[in-house]
Amino acid sequence: EPEVTQTPSHQVTQMGQEVILRCVPISNHLYFYWYRQILGQKVEFLVSFYNNEISEKSEIFDDQFSVERPDGSNFTLKIRSTKLEDSAMYFCASSGRGGWETQYFGPGTRLLVL
């Protein structure tokens, strides 16, 4: 069964460093998403992406964040200058035709900022 994959599974970085989290969505899906979950807190929406542009973003998704689909298979989340509070599990998701369909989540990348 097709699944969303994410790399790396864990990443440790120093405050102020740039990180890129990578995702490979399900191949025939058109909508892509990033969520994060700070330890012990709710899963929070960051951004949705369709047709090579951001379709919606939350207030969390400020200028430090960016997303890109550099080729036909990868979807990336970049954090330009990491802060301690960026430490969280980051989930990528994809769906076929939009938010009204089931979103399929990847296993997540656990980011720790020191």
Partner 1 sequence: KQEVTQIPAALSVPEGENLVLNCSFTDSAIYNLQWFRQDPGKGLTSLLLIQSSQREQTSGRLNASLDKSSGRSTLYIAASQPGDSATYLCASAGYSSASKIIFGSGTRLSIRP
Q: Residues interacting with partner 1, by CB under 8 A?
A: 4, 31, 33, 35, 41-45, 48, 50, 55-56, 58, 91, 93, 98-108, 110
43 Cβ partners below 8 Å, 6+ apart? 35, 36, 37, 91
Q: Establish whether the linkage from the previous residue to 107 is cis, with ω within 30° of 0.
A: no
At 46, give phi and psi (nearest 5°). -105, -55
- Report how far residue 106's alpha carbon sits from residue 35's, in angstroms, rounded to the nearest whole number: 10
**Taking the complex as a whole, how short is the minimal distance between the CB of residue 65 and partner 1, in angstroms?**
15
**Taking the complex as a whole, how short is the minimal distance between the CB of residue 47 and partner 1, in angstroms?**
9
User: Residues 63, 55, 29, 36: is their CA dihedral positive or negative?
Assistant: positive
Closer residue to partner 1 (CB): 14 or 52: 52
Closer residue to partner 1 (CB): 14 or 102: 102
**Taking the complex as a whole, how short is the minimal distance between the CB of residue 52 and partner 1, in angstroms?**
15
Closer residue to partner 1 (CB): 17 or 21: 21
